[in-house]
Structure 1
């Protein structure tokens, strides 16, 4: 196996010590660098030209991909903040932090191997809780539960050092299909409004039920990919209305960019006692 092929199997970048342990010689490494097949990152990391930018950045800083950047690699639902997040590692204090980069100096609850370039999911979740607004962080934690990358029991046993991380852990739930469902539930909870999730009404689950009669349906960014799905949703809304429920349906854009209007409508519905059984 060539060094380039070996690097391809290791996300395109590795520490030179890892290559040596895999059986490649220092001469082979130098030859590959001299011919341009691979390049060096700092002194001890070797990488293919198309190695992921976030892994290169972590190696440059002597750290690991962390926080939202790790969440992105793991496929977790998150709201991007336009920054490359890295955790501090050995020697990172001597490297300048570039524009658009954010370094996390806290140590996560899970030990990391010496040459790892990505934080474990548990450490990334702690970084997110300490770095992001509470509701945004909760959406990522819920996504991690929903995708079964972690379990409530496992997270409950971790010694979390910060108040922010403990607060998110106390509020997390696996009931949201995506963060766009977590966000309204958390925002309404802050107002003292309880939203029951995944309640079965008229043969189908609803995203949220307030009281006995106010239904909150939330359409995600990729929702209604077909006319058939859209038709099924409208039919279900109609069935709920005939059963005496009030249905408020909102979409991704409204949750993220027009929440005050949505919140105001929910409060008006509560003022009219539309959430109460009659």
Structure 2
């Protein structure tokens, strides 16, 4: 039979004793593994392997599970730097305290998990990320989950988030494609009374938008964040400048979340006559 330590390693290095019993390990055998040092008992009912990550142990010590950026990083998602403290989801009634050296998350996430389940569901991870991080950083983590296939945008749109910030990100996630950002930008220009032509070809290359005769607009959507060649974009911008165009480049985050800045930038360019032929 597989050793308890190997069984734990195959499951992330931590488990509740009830899961070990369900797997066929007797109380006597568990006690023997603890006495031999191949397994470490955390609290009364949680067990880990000796080399378990300190964040995993910290979560087990308060009867919680890693969540938010801590769980996102372990899943291989992009996160804005290593978290200074483990982010741990606990029940609202938990006696755990912030001074235990952890970042506590008590809000009720959308996917219900048994208290003995040590691994956070990806939707719950995203829920806590949305509530915890600045909006731009949270969106980047959500993008990473979408890009890697950890979640699907259509599923996100149907989840009952119980969080305004998470629901907002779920709504935006369906517009992260280049076409979605272009649609949002075109709507912003129309509402601002700015006439713009879309998908105009110049020098054999398409512009996302052209205002007047010389104000070119390029939009970097989700596909750009997935690895589009940045040098190619710079070469395209340089070609346009050498042909007398002014190039404004905005990314999806600015268009979707900072429309006021985008609108003001375009208006200032028009006020300077940058849209007119020279």
- TM-score, normalization: structure 1? 0.69
1:9 aligns with 2:5: no
Contact between 2:72 and 2:78, CA under 8 Å: does it hold in 1?
yes
Q: Tell me how far apart the structure 2 counterparts of residues 217 and 277 of structure 1 sit (CA, whole Å).
A: 25
State the partner residue of 1:103.
104
Max Rg structure: 2
Q: Tell me how far apart the structure 2 counterparts of residues 95 and 242 of structure 1 sit (CA, whole Å).
A: 62
Structure 1, unpaired ranges of 5+: 194-198, 256-261
Contact between 1:213 and 1:277, CA under 8 Å: does it hold in 2?
no
Once the 2 structures are TM-superposed, how far is the Cα of residue 47 of structure 1 from its aligned partner? 0.9
Q: Tell me how far apart the structure 2 counterparts of residues 102 and 44 of structure 1 sit (CA, whole Å).
A: 22
Aligned ranges 1:46-195 → 2 under 5 Å = 46-80=47-81, 82-89=84-91, 93-98=94-99, 100-173=101-174, 175=176
1:242 to 1:22, Cα distance in 2 relative to 1, 3 A: same
Once the 2 structures are TM-superposed, how far is the Cα of residue 40 of structure 1 from its aligned partner? 0.8
Please give the per-residue CA displacement for 1:127-177, whole angstroms capped at 9, x wherever unaligned: 122222222222222222222222222111111222222222222356479
Q: Tell me how far apart the structure 1 counterparts of residues 200 and 77 of structure 2 sit (CA, whole Å).
A: 26
1:54 to 1:272, Cα distance in 2 relative to 1, 3 A: farther
Corresponding pairs, count:
249
Q: Tell me how far apart the structure 2 counterparts of residues 148 and 270 of structure 1 sit (CA, whole Å).
A: 41
Q: Secondary structure at the match of 1:75?
A: coil
Q: Tell me how far apart the structure 2 counterparts of residues 273 and 58 of structure 1 sit (CA, whole Å).
A: 59
State the partner residue of 1:238.
238
Please give the per-residue CA displacement for 1:93-121, whole angstroms capped at 9, x wherever unaligned: 23343454221111111121342223211
State the partner residue of 1:215.
218
Q: Tell me how far apart the structure 2 counterparts of residues 33 and 270 of structure 1 sit (CA, whole Å).
A: 72
Q: Tell me how far apart the structure 2 counterparts of residues 200 and 103 of structure 1 sit (CA, whole Å).
A: 51
1:93 to 1:114, Cα distance in 2 relative to 1, 3 A: closer
Please give the per-residue CA displacement for 1:33-58, whole angstroms capped at 9, x wherever unaligned: 11212211111111111112222122
Once the 2 structures are TM-superposed, how far is the Cα of residue 83 of structure 1 from its aligned partner? 3.0
Q: Tell me how far apart the structure 2 counterparts of residues 150 and 56 of structure 1 sit (CA, whole Å).
A: 27
Q: Secondary structure at the match of 1:238?
A: helix
Q: Secondary structure at the match of 1:37?
A: coil
Contact between 1:55 and 1:64, CA under 8 Å: does it hold in 2?
yes
- TM-score, normalization: structure 2? 0.69
Please give the per-residue CA displacement for 1:72-100, whole angstroms capped at 9, x wherever unaligned: 1222223245332111138x723343454
Q: Tell me how far apart the structure 1 counterparts of residues 200 and 168 of structure 2 sit (CA, whole Å).
A: 29
1:205 to 1:111, Cα distance in 2 relative to 1, 3 A: farther
